[in-house]
């Protein structure tokens, strides 16, 4: 831009993550609203556009396209970019002065002031002639019109010349052919990754196929695990997550309850990956063959369930990598390979890679091939074990490399660590993340935490997958607790976020801990477990109704639509979700007391619902399947340990030709 024309400033571009270093996240089919502050000295009329293109996968790469930005107020501009398909997009902003509209605006002011505008008309003629030349190869009709009016402005001034010069239609045509050499482009090309829908809306069920026989003695197979699929489908889960399915090391194998000495017949921890039978690209022989695994994947798909695999980049001491590539591992000064530690914990059955060592290029390439190997075997979702103990650079590289080829692949970060580290993992590319929900028990802390992670700017890159339990974690609030605790925690997990999961046994209210620890007694991590699905206290029906409500009502499938509302009881949490178009709205009240009934006066957000204070509307309580009519902002609710949550789908009435109907 020349000094004569001054400068266009483009500032405060949103959304933008760490000055464009990382991509923000959206879902394919959504749109991306882009905002910026755009201004210039003086009184020029400005034009601004958002430039965007899809860059991966390669087969769907597009040329640059533009959408207009609209001036809102106080130099704020806004526009919408469509994200029709799964993949990575680039976007930036460009703005320039609209010379002809600026000229026309000034011309009218001078005419209104009674000034001689002969010279100004000649300036306008030059602007139109320049636009006509630029339009020549684009639109012959536009070029002809611009040239004709420009020529008329060079003749002696006449009233009709002024009318033509100030015509809105002429300004529209001239603006279609601007002098873009005057444009200023934002310094950064930003990225957005559009995930498939499952990234935002999924219910995970974790179970160990080796316990599929359910007798605690016989090692299960993939064929045995297939028999679980109808049950998992009935519970309403659409993702089944399997812990590592690879051969388990024999060196330093752990025994039952994490004892250091394994007895004959002890199956060991599946996270101690690798033995003589193979490593990360092999299947534990007792689970079956690759054909059996593929049959399990296909059977799951037939039940509407996707299979997620554990991605644990660590090795047992007898993993083939240790023998074939000792340079990939960390060694002590005495030459021995370091075992994994998280003091005071030590994992004698696991050794770690030397992530940033001299052999990192070959190591990283091999680990990428592990992911692509399982993608080729039908896996599109990975739960990543302890990613916070590996370099961020590695994950940024790996996830991008994989998603550039297969943009439908999802990565769940299993990182219970410091807040900034968890968020950084989201920034470098992880699709979803475990959260602190597991330990958030009280009204204010639940509200504060969920507001943080479900609203921008955090929600632009971090999707919290809420788990009330995992094989590693039996939180204190579930230890030796009654069914009321399990019901309320699963109600919170499944409705506060649109992605949630649980580890099998939860539906049986399994809560026997290792004394003094947040760990399961007789943990399935180290032994086969005999699950008794007929034991008293089973809450499978409650879980099934929650997941059914999620599937039926799109509001519960929204991650960023969460809003909290007031109740007069500190032990009752009240919140709601709605779709962006307002066609689905659900209000949720959950008791935080697992032992006693709680009553509360709920203050219904009438304006948020779009309901007038005097208007009657219908609600359908989904857990008890009861309908009622509400009017006004205050509603009384009673929740019990047997029914600790109420989910209200909200319907408003509308007049039809002959009667009243209602709509969500």
Cis-peptide, bond into residue 204, ω within 30° of zero: no
- Position 77 pLDDT exceeds 60: yes
**pLDDT at res. 656:** 43
Q: What pLDDT does 658 receive?
A: 43
pLDDT at 2: 45
Residue 254 labeled ligand binder? yes
Model confidence band, residue 663 (pLDDT cutoffs 50, 70, 90): very low
* Bigger pLDDT: 121 vs 302: 302
Q: Choosing from 385, 507, 524, 664, which is the catalytic residue?
A: 385
Instruction: Give the orientation angle of helix 140-153 with respect to helix 168-175, to 10 degrees.
Output: 120
* pLDDT at position 526 over 90: yes
> In three state form, how does the secondary structure of 433-500 look?
ECCHHHHCCCHHHHHHHHHHHHCCCHHHCCCECECCCCCCCCCHHHCCCCHHHHHHHHHHHHHHCCEE
Instruction: Tell me what the mean pLDDT of segment 574-578 comes to.
Output: 97
Segment among 17-26, 110-119, 510-519 with least mean pLDDT = 110-119
Q: How many CB atoms lie within 10 A of CB 609?
A: 19
Residue 659 reports pLDDT greater than 50: no
What residue spans define the domains of the chain? 9-193, 197-527, 562-652
> How do 184-185 and 87-97 pair as beta strands?
antiparallel
The pLDDT score that the predictor gives to residue 117 is 85
Phi, psi (deg, nearest 5) at residue 333 = -55, -30
Over residues 536-565, the mean pLDDT reads: 96
Res 165: pLDDT: 85
Mean pLDDT, rounded, of the chain: 94
On the question of pLDDT at 417 being above 90, the answer is yes
Residue 654 has pLDDT above 60, yes or no: no
pTM of the model: 0.93
Is the pLDDT score of 114 beyond 80? yes
| Cα-only R_g, the chain | 31
SS3 21: coil
562-652 matches 9-193 in CATH topology: yes
Q: Does domain 197-527 have CATH number 3.20.20.80?
A: yes
State pLDDT tens for residues 276-319. 999 999 999 999 999 999 999 999 999 999 999 999 999 999 99
With left for phi above 0 and alpha for psi between -120 and 50, is residue 312 left, alpha or beta?
beta
Look at domain 562-652 and name its CATH class: mainly beta
Banded pLDDT at 472 (limits 50, 70, 90): very high
8 Å CB contact between 427 and 400: no
Please determine, for residue 161, whether its predicted confidence score (pLDDT) is greater than 90.
no
The mean pLDDT of 519-537, rounded to a whole number, is: 91
- Helix, strand, coil percentages in the chain from 3-state DSSP, rounded to 5: 35, 25, 40
| 525 annotated to a ligand binding site | yes
Residue among 44, 98, 191, 414 flagged as catalytic: 414
Determine what percent of the chain is predicted with pLDDT higher than 90. 86
What is the pLDDT averaged over residues 233-253? 97
Q: Is the pLDDT of residue 467 over 50?
A: yes
Please indicate whether residue 507 is annotated as part of the active site.
Answer: no
In whole angstroms, give the CA distance from residue 141 to residue 84: 33
Quote the DSSP letter at residue 58: G
Q: What is the pLDDT of residue 189?
A: 97
pLDDT tens for residues 189-237?
999 999 999 999 999 999 999 999 989 999 999 999 999 999 999 999 9
- Asked if pLDDT for residue 438 goes beyond 80, the answer is yes
pLDDT greater than 80 at residue 621: yes
Q: Is residue 477 marked as binding? A: no
Parallel, antiparallel or unpaired: strands 572-578 and 184-185: unpaired
The one-character DSSP state at 423 is H
Contact indicator for 15, 457 with CB cutoff of 8 Å: yes
Q: How confident is the model at residue 653 (pLDDT cuts 50, 70, 90)?
A: low
Confidence band, pLDDT 50/70/90 cuts, at residue 6: low
How many CA atoms lie within 13 Å of 217's alpha carbon, on the beta-carbon side? 1
Ligand-binding site membership of 314 (annotated) = yes
Closest CA to 486 of 557, 540, 559: 540
E strand residue ranges, 492-622: 499-503, 563-565, 572-578, 585-591, 598-603, 616-621
385 noted as active-site residue: yes
Look at residue 657 and tell me whether its pLDDT is greater than 90.
no
Architecture of domain 9-193: Sandwich (2.60)
């Amino acid at each position: 831009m020349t000094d004569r024309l001054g400068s266009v400033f483009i500032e405060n571009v949103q959304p933008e993550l760490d000055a464009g270093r990382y991509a923000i996240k959206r879902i394919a089919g959504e749109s991306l609203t882009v905002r910026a502050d755009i201004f210039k000295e003086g009184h020029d009329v400005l034009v601004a556009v958002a430039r965007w293109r899809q860059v991966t996968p390669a087969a769907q790469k597009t040329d640059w396209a533009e959408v207009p930005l609209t001036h809102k107020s106080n130099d704020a501009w806004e526009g919408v970019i469509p994200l029709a398909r799964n993949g990575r997009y680039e976007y930036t902003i460009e703005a320039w002065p609209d010379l002809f509209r600026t000229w026309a605006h000034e011309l009218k002011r001078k005419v209104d002031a009674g000034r001689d505008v002969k010279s100004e008309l000649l300036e306008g003629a030059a602007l139109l002639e320049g636009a006509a030349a630029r339009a020549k190869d684009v639109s012959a009709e536009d070029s002809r019109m611009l040239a004709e009016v420009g020529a008329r402005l060079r003749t002696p001034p006449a009233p009709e010349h002024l009318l033509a010069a100030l015509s809105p239609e002429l300004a529209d045509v001239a603006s279609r052919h601007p002098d873009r050499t005057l444009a200023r482009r934002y310094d950064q090309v930003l990225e957005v990754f559009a995930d498939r829908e499952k990234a935002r809306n999924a219910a995970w069920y974790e179970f160990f196929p080796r316990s599929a026989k359910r007798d605690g003695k016989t090692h299960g197979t993939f064929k045995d695990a297939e028999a679980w699929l109808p049950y998992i489908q009935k519970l309403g889960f659409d993702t089944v997550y399997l812990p590592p399915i690879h051969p388990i090391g024999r060196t330093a194998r752990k025994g039952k309850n994490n004892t250091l000495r394994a007895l004959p017949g002890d199956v060991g921890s599946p996270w101690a990956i690798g033995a003589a039978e193979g490593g990360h690209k092999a299947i534990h022989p007792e689970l079956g063959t690759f054909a059996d695994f593929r049959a399990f994947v296909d059977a799951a798909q037939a039940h509407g369930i996707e299979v997620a695999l554990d991605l644990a980049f660590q090795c047992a001491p007898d993993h083939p990598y240790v023998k074939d590539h000792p340079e990939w591992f960390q060694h002590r000064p005495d030459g021995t390979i370091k075992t994994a530690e998280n003091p005071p914990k030590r994992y004698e059955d696991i050794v770690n890679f030397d992530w940033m060592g001299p052999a990192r290029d070959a190591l990283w390439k091999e680990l990428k091939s592990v992911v692509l190997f399982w993608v080729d075997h039908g896996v599109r979702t990975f739960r990543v074990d302890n990613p916070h103990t590996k370099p961020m650079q590695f994950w940024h590289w790996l996830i991008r490399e994989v998603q550039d080829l297969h943009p439908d692949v999802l990565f769940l970060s299993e990182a219970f660590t410091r807040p900034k580290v968890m968020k950084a993992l989201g920034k470098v590319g992880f699709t979803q993340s475990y959260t602190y929900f597991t330990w958030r028990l009280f009204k204010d802390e639940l509200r504060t935490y969920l507001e943080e992670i479900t609203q921008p700017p955090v929600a632009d890159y971090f999707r919290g997958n809420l788990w009330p339990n995992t094989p590693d974690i039996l939180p204190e609030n579930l230890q030796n607790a009654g069914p009321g605790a399990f019901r309320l925690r699963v109600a919170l997990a499944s409705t506060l976020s649109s992605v949630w999961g649980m580890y099998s046994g939860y539906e049986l209210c399994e809560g026997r801990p290792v004394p003094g620890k947040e760990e399961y007694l007789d943990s399935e991590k180290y032994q086969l477990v005999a699950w008794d699905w007929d034991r008293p206290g089973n809450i499978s029906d409650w879980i099934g109704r929650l997941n059914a409500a999620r599937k039926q009502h799109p509001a519960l499938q929204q991650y960023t639509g969460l809003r909290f509302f007031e109740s007069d009881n500190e032990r009752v949490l009240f919140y709601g979700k709605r779709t962006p178009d307002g066609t689905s709205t659900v209000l949720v009240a959950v008791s935080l007391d697992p032992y006693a009934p709680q009553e509360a006066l709920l203050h219904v957000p009438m304006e948020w619902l779009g309901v007038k204070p005097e208007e009657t509307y219908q609600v359908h309580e989904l857990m008890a399947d009861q309908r009622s009519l509400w009017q006004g902002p205050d509603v009384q609710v009673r929740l019990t340990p047997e029914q600790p949550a109420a989910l209200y789908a909200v319907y408003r009435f509308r007049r039809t030709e002959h009667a009243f109907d209602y709509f969500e």
